[in-house]
């Protein structure tokens, strides 16, 4: 298992990093790698990479695969030594490793197709192993490029790899250098970037949330760490695409979903551990709001604008500045340090032994009671409190998603079937108010927005009544977590 963190390095800081490493009498080596895959890139689609790499005068064949989070990867190196001729890829070399065998068999079958050369990398690596709090951490500066027959892309990144010791030491050590060299966390591998280059694409599809399977015997604190890890697995790939300036609307949307899931966990589960830093929630909220400025345009493009276009000719301008702002935010030092702090917490020792199911019952019941109270008077609530109800319903959905594996699937699904239409109506209700605010800003200069503004304001009371009707179906009898 390889444990490492990778960061993108501004070109303006490369010289400073080289000077710092050279003061430690760092070593240098040229790394020339060839990456292989099936014609339809089956390995890449499943986050697996196989390469042959010449490291100085020696050759190494390497298998890499995704693991449970973005800090760890399954890795198997086969050292081939010096070769008179360039070696050929040989999958039979992994026959002694059952994990690798199982992954390859699952993806390629018992008679795998030939793997073809997809792209190459040529890198000069400057590296040194540092001692830190009893751990050994190798710092590598990789400077070079990725090549395909028709294209190329620069590589300028720093890797921190744990050679011996604890993952927390690795995170703390790298955190010291993030601010000094303005590094930003990038969970995309060279293999992923090379595969995109070979396909003529700039970015991988947005990463969505993965199912989390908690066990009843887990402590509440242990479960919270797994929840945070699960959220980061969704947030970090999308954040990297945003920081690199190649994100599409869906990356911003999924980053916001991941942040909302994480904030929901902190809001309702943070008391499960005494190690939670209270500043994390406010820092996450700042990022969420900034992404919201970009996401609001996209949201009404999907939900509100198509309905207006059914009744009038309407053209809504795209705010390019919002996209620029979020790129700067996600490549910001403070954002990277926040992500590292969250990773560090997920690797800390468990202190609390409080039973998980007991804490889940308390947390979900407290939140659900607030929703039921809102539902009993929803149509009379001020707009701000109606939107607070929407947030609570969404938070409940995310919290249930985290812990659903603890309960009978049928009962969970029955509850979610009631919750889903409520979410949809409340979500659209919110979109109408977002659209109202945005359209209001344009009415003075563009008269077409007057009709659009009137349309969304006319829709608001109708949608509110539908949301209110759906809320009335909720009751204490629906609780499945007690």
**Is residue 383 pLDDT above 70, yes or no?**
yes
Residue 232 inside a domain? The answer is no
pLDDT recorded at residue 111: 76
Tokens of 283: 């820092």
Domain co-membership, 247 together with 327: yes
Same domain, 147 and 286: no
Sequence-distant (6+) residues with CB within 8 A of 434 are 296, 299, 300
Which of 372, 368, 422, 374 lies closest to 396, judged by CA? 368
Residue 219: per-residue pLDDT: 95
**Residue 214 belongs to some domain of the structure:** no
Is 303's pLDDT higher than 80?
no
- Does any domain span residue 162? yes
The pLDDT value recorded for residue 316 is 62
Percent of the chain at pLDDT exceeding 70:
95
- CATH number of the CATH domain containing 470: 1.40.20.10
Residue 153 shares a structural domain with residue 34: yes
Kindly report the number of other CB atoms within 10 A of residue 4's CB atom: 20
The domain boundary residue, chosen from 201, 221, 252: 201
Question: Which SS3 state, helix, strand or coil, does residue 257 take?
Answer: helix
d(CA 435, CA 440) in angstroms, rounded, equals: 8
Q: Looking at residue 426, what is its pLDDT?
A: 96
Specify whether 56 is located in the same domain as 118. Answer: yes
User: For residue 393, is it within any domain?
Assistant: yes
Q: What whole-number distance in Å separates Cα of residue 55 and Cα of residue 18? A: 20
What's the residue count for the chain? 482
Higher local confidence (pLDDT), 434 or 415: 415
Residues 59 and 158 in one domain: yes
Reported as a single tens digit per residue, the pLDDT across 419-444 is 999 999 999 999 899 888 888 887 77
Q: What is the CATH number of the domain that holds 51?
A: 2.40.320.10
279-303 and 333-346 helices cross at what angle (nearest 10)? 110
Predicted confidence band of residue 314 (pLDDT cuts 50, 70, 90):
low
Q: Which residues fall within 8 angstroms of residue 468, CB to CB, at 6 or more apart?
A: 378, 379
Rounded Cα gap, residues 72 and 70, in angstroms = 6
pLDDT at 295 exceeding the cut of 70: no
Q: With respect to residue 208, please indicate whether it lies within any of the assigned structural domains.
A: no
237-to-75, 231, 272, 357 alpha-carbon distances in Å: 20, 11, 27, 31
Mean of pLDDT over the chain: 92
Which pLDDT tens digit goes with each residue over 70-108? 889 999 999 999 998 999 999 999 999 999 999 999 999
Q: Which residue has the higher pLDDT, 466 or 296?
A: 466
Asked whether the predicted pLDDT for residue 320 surpasses 70, the reply is no
Same domain flag for 136 and 276? no
Task: Tell me, yes or no, whether 398 lies in a domain.
Answer: yes
Q: State whether 271 and 378 are in the same domain.
A: yes
**Residue 128 domain-assigned (yes or no):** yes
For 445, counting Cβ atoms within 10 Å of its Cβ (0-12 exposed, 13-18 middle, 19+ buried), the class is: exposed
Question: What was the pLDDT predicted at 319?
Answer: 55
- The angle at the Cα of 244, spanning 242 to 246, to the nearest 5 degrees, equals 70
Total tally of structural domains belonging to the chain: 2
Q: In the structure, what pLDDT confidence band is assigned to residue 110 with cuts at 50, 70 and 90?
A: confident
- Same-domain status, 145 and 266: no
Please name every residue paired with 5 in a beta bridge, in sequence order, or none if there are none: 160
Position 91 scores a pLDDT of: 93
Is this structure's pTM higher than 0.85?
Answer: yes
| % of the chain with per-residue pLDDT over 90 | 80
Structural domain boundaries, residue 321: 242-478
Mean pLDDT of 256-261: 95
Q: Helix and strand tally (H, E) in the chain?
A: 15, 9
Least confident range from 62-66, 251-255, 266-270, 319-323: namely 319-323
Poorest-pLDDT segment among 223-237, 274-288, 440-454: 440-454
Do 418 and 289 lie in a common domain?
yes
Quick one: pLDDT band at residue 296, thresholds 50, 70, 90? Answer: low
Is 419 part of a structural domain of the chain?
A: yes
Domain boundary among 201, 230, 265: 201
What is the mean predicted confidence (pLDDT) over 107-114?
A: 83
Tell me: do 390 and 325 sit in the same domain.
yes
Q: Do 279 and 186 reside in the same domain of the chain?
A: no
Instruction: Specify the pLDDT at position 381.
Output: 97
Question: From CA 214, how far away is CA 226, in angstroms rounded?
Answer: 8
pLDDT of residue 247: 93
Last-in-domain residue among 169, 201, 233: 201
Cα dihedral value 384, 389, 390, 394, nearest 10: 140
């Amino acid at each position: 298992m390889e444990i490492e963190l990778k960061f993108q390095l501004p070109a303006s800081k490369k010289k400073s990093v080289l000077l710092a490493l050279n003061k430690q009498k760092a070593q240098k080596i040229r790394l020339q790698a060839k990456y292989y895959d099936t014609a339809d890139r089956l390995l890449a689609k499943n986050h697996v990479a196989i390469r042959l790499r010449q490291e100085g005068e020696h050759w190494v064949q390497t298998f890499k695969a995704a693991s449970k989070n973005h800090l760890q990867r399954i890795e198997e190196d086969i050292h081939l030594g010096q070769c008179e001729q360039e070696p050929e890829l040989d999958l039979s070399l992994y026959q002694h490793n059952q994990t690798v065998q199982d992954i390859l068999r699952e993806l390629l079958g018992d008679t795998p197709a030939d793997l073809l050369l997809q792209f190459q990398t040529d890198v000069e690596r400057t590296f040194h192993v540092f001692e830190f709090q009893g751990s050994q951490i190798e710092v590598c500066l990789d400077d070079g490029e990725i090549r395909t027959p028709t294209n190329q892309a620069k590589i300028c990144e720093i890797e921190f790899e744990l050679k011996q010791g604890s993952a927390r030491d690795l995170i703390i050590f790298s955190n010291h250098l993030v601010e000094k060299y303005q590094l930003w966390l990038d969970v995309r591998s060279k293999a992923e970037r090379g595969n995109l280059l070979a396909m003529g694409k700039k970015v991988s599809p947005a990463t969505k949330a993965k199912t989390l399977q908690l066990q009843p015997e887990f402590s509440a604190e242990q479960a919270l760490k797994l929840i945070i890890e699960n959220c980061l697995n969704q947030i970090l790939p999308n954040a990297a695409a945003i920081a690199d300036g190649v994100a599409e609307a869906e990356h911003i949307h999924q980053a916001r979903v991941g942040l909302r899931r994480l904030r929901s966990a902190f809001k309702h589960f943070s008391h499960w551990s005494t190690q939670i830093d209270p500043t994390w929630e406010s820092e996450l909220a700042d990022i969420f709001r900034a992404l919201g400025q970009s996401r609001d345009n996209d949201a009404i493009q999907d939900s509100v604008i198509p309905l207006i276009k059914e009744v009038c000719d309407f053209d809504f301008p795209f705010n390019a500045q919002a996209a620029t702002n979020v790129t700067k935010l996600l490549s910001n030092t403070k954002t990277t340090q926040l992500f590292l702090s969250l990773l560090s917490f997920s690797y800390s020792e468990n202190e609390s032994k409080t039973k998980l199911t007991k804490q889940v019952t308390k947390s979900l019941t407290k939140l659900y009671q607030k929703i039921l109270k809102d539902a009993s008077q929803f149509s009379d609530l001020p707009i701000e409190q109606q939107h607070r109800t929407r947030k609570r319903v969404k938070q409940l959905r995310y919290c249930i998603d985290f812990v659903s594996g603890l309960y009978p699937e049928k009962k969970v699904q029955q509850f979610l079937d009631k919750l889903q239409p409520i979410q949809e109506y409340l979500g659209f209700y919110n979109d109408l108010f977002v659209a109202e605010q945005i359209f209001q800003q344009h009415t003075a200069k563009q008269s077409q927005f007057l009709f659009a503004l009137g349309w969304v304001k006319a829709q608001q009371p109708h949608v509110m009544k539908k949301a209110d009707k759906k809320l009335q179906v909720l009751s204490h009898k629906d609780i499945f977590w007690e």
